[in-house]
Structure 1
Amino acid sequence: MSKTDMTAMSCTDLMTTQVPEVNEREALEIAHQVYDIEGSVMPLNGERDANFLVQSKRGAYVMKFVNSAENPGVTSFQTLALLHIERHGAHLPVPRVLATRTGKFEPKVSLREQTFTLRTVSYLDGISQNLGKPSVTLMRELGTTLAEVNLALKDFKHPAAHRNLLWDVGHAERVRPYVDCLETDQQRLVSYLLDRYEHHVKPQLATLRAQVIHNDLNPHNVVLDRKTVTRVAAIIDFGDALHAPLINELGTALSYQFDAGATDPLWQIKAFVGAYNAQIPLQPDELNVLGDLIAMRMAMAITIAQWRASLYPENRAYVLRNLRTTWRNLQCLSAMPEGTLVESLINACRREDL
């Protein structure tokens, strides 16, 4: 087997291994046995893991039964990243890891002749960003918060941070085998973007500053304050975190803030990147590739979603929940005159620098 084949397998194992089978009664028993929590549980959606919301007098928590295909080193990396943020960015709205009765952060539990690793974190209440109303104020708040998370993670090191992940826009070429799952017009555009990425973008990424990043700031991972709907109550789900070029963080995050239905489809992106730049000044070489990364992440999203829908048709509605919007946004972005997006990003950063 070639190195390329092995890499592809390691990237897709998590995406093709069934979510752990755990029912509510079992989850509640384990919560009591391991964490001394009594209350109620409710299953939560998850792409790879079995997740439960646990509500008790002590507070509310999210208990995760980690997919058995995940490398133990990666599990440790994600846990330690959260603990690192707690130490270096205590003010930041990210989940806090809950210790067991015996002080462990990654306990092992046996269930139906299988052993799973648990991670339980505090539940931060609010509404998902996709249920809120977009605003310039929210975009600035979100850009600032993401930059502060990146600053807190700047010095965090872990060997498992250098992982193979299908959702890594820094290795977008890994989705090429799944382009056949797309419709003809989608195949044409995604293939073009992949060619451009491999020849013009990826070679530049190796020269840019890199660190551990969250890598998945989509609206389902942003929790808003219920009252104001303009304050970020939480950034959740560090399951896709990895070491990568820092600009990839924005390429991923901004791919979800494009607004094809607006007079200015870039209005959210400009407010977001301007606020981020005020905390972490972006370098010219980073801004030059950012537009391509935004488009590539959109292309990856529609490709991976349709590939997974073909694997798990029973979960099709959940997997494809964002497909129509993402495809519309990608078409609109790709139709913009070349250089428009990059120029807009540069101007947004200059305004914040004034």
Structure 2
Amino acid sequence: MTEFIPPVISNERVAQIVQAHYTVSHIDPSCIKLLYGYEDRNYYIKEMCTGTESCSSKEYVFKVMNQKDSKFPDFFDALSKLMFFINAEVLNCSLPVQPVDVPEGRFIISLKKSYMLETKMKKDVTYVGFLLTYVPGVPISEVECSPKFLYSIGEFVGKLSTSLQKFSHLYFEARCLCFDLKHFLDNKLLVENVTVTEDKQMLESVFKLYIEHVKPKLTSFKIGAVHNDLNCDNLLCVKGSDQNSWKLSGVIDVMDATVSHSVFDGAVCIAFLMMKDCTNPLEYTVPAVSGYLNNYSLNDEEFDCLYYLVAARLTQSYLHALNNQITQPDNLCRTKSLHKSYTVLKVLLSTPKQEVDKMWRQTLKSV
């Protein structure tokens, strides 16, 4: 909701905050950039080199948390532990930087009202911020993905799901999010925003399919921590060795992480990859599905529900983008998946599940 989004901070104030709380100096405010954030404010920062000696400038992201999450310090403890875990076990992940004026192992700082450009803040509202290392790379949403690269993306998701089954935190175990596919049915009220009868019936059919086919089988799904937002902007890549290929370089934005059913990360990633090619989404994502299934073993119930879970994630994306279009018409970042999710969902539901299952089963052990 819009009231949760933190106010804007000027570049000069961002530089002042970071230099006061971290061992980072020589920041040029004119080089600070506001990055995309769904509910938070993210500021890209590059530390300037000084003197005549050669040096490599360090890059960071200063994140100002939304009002809701700023209230829960345990959330940041869980996040920091998860980021260090992913970075050590799977792939390069942004890491929190230790402030100089808080106890070791605690990474958040409180932000004063005087830092904010907007003065509509309630007196009792406190926002928190923390500094993250910057993960270099280009979002995979901005590059052409070859079949080989798509396979490697699926491979990564499979390995991530396997590793995250070893990670747990009490905060994540108690967390309840509407974007967690375990709570997909909580999104049903948003269907009322749909005005076209045919579209409303299509979306309602996904909820019926979930109730009939997914809900009874949830207890048989494996449980673990999930990233929960493996979209194409949160997976980064760099040029491969031949300069005509890409390779994954990092994963970012674990803000929606929780403990849930591990198969959900696979379904989420497949859904977003489908939106990269709305004309042939099923054929396009076959290599990614192959990489995923060959590196993360689904039991029969999980595989049987994968089709429905991908449809559920596409439905979530569409309904929330539509709701954001109504409530925040000027915020293009929050509505960019509106048309793509609708188009791909229509293609998926028009394709018999048996055909999709067969297509996906044939990818096993094929590269």
- TM-score for both structures, normalised by structure 2: 0.85
Match of 2:73 in 1: 72
Q: Note the alpha carbon deviations across 1:212-261, whole angstroms, 9 max, x for none.
A: 01111111111121455521121111111111111111111100122331
Residue 247 of structure 2 corresponds to residue 261 of structure 1:
no
On the 8 A contact 1:254/1:269 being kept in 2, the answer is yes
Residue 167 of structure 2 corresponds to residue 149 of structure 1:
no
Tell me which of 237, 240, 246 is aligned to 2:253.
237
Residue 226 of structure 2 corresponds to residue 208 of structure 1:
no
Q: Displacement, 1:46?
A: 0.8
On the 8 A contact 1:98/1:105 being kept in 2, the answer is no
Relative to structure 1, the CA distance from residue 175 to residue 16 in structure 2 (aligned partners, 3 Å threshold; closer, same or farther) is farther
Residue 190 of structure 2 corresponds to residue 199 of structure 1:
no
Match of 2:343 in 1: 328
On the 8 A contact 1:97/1:105 being kept in 2, the answer is no
Relative to structure 1, the CA distance from residue 150 to residue 200 in structure 2 (aligned partners, 3 Å threshold; closer, same or farther) is closer
Q: Which residues of 2 match residues 267-286 of structure 1 at below 5 A?
A: 267-286=283-302
Q: What residue ranges of structure 2 are gaps of 5+ in the alignment?
A: 49-56, 114-122
Most deviating of 114-123 and 209-218: 114-123
| Residue type at the aligned position of 2:168 | K
Most deviating of 135-144 and 227-236: 227-236
Q: Displacement, 1:151?
A: 3.1
RMSD: 1.9
Look up the SS of the partner of 2:233 in the other structure. Answer: helix
Q: Displacement, 1:298?
A: 0.3
Relative to structure 1, the CA distance from residue 110 to residue 257 in structure 2 (aligned partners, 3 Å threshold; closer, same or farther) is closer
Q: C-alpha separation between the residues in 1 aligned to 2:204 and 2:63?
A: 36
Match of 1:341 in 2: 356
Look up the SS of the partner of 1:271 in the other structure. Answer: helix
Look up the SS of the partner of 1:120 in the other structure. Answer: strand
| Residue type at the aligned position of 1:170 | K
Match of 2:189 in 1: 177
Identical-pair percentage: 19
Larger radius of gyration: 2
Tell me which of 27, 49, 52 is aligned to 2:14.
27
Q: Note the alpha carbon deviations across 1:186-221, whole angstroms, 9 max, x for none.
A: 211111111111222122122211100111111111
- TM-score for both structures, normalised by structure 1: 0.88
Q: Displacement, 1:305?
A: 1.1
Q: C-alpha separation between the residues in 2 aligned to 1:330 and 1:35?
A: 46
Q: What residue ranges of structure 1 are gaps of 5+ in the alignment?
A: 1-14
| Residue type at the aligned position of 2:356 | L
On the 8 A contact 2:184/2:316 being kept in 1, the answer is yes
Relative to structure 1, the CA distance from residue 76 to residue 268 in structure 2 (aligned partners, 3 Å threshold; closer, same or farther) is farther
Look up the SS of the partner of 2:336 in the other structure. Answer: coil
Look up the SS of the partner of 2:272 in the other structure. Answer: coil
On the 8 A contact 1:172/1:300 being kept in 2, the answer is yes
Q: Which residues of 2 match residues 53-132 of structure 1 at below 5 A?
A: 53-57=44-48, 58-70=57-69, 71-89=72-90, 92-102=91-101, 103-112=104-113, 114-132=125-143
Match of 1:12 in 2: none
Q: C-alpha separation between the residues in 2 aligned to 1:206 and 1:214?
A: 20
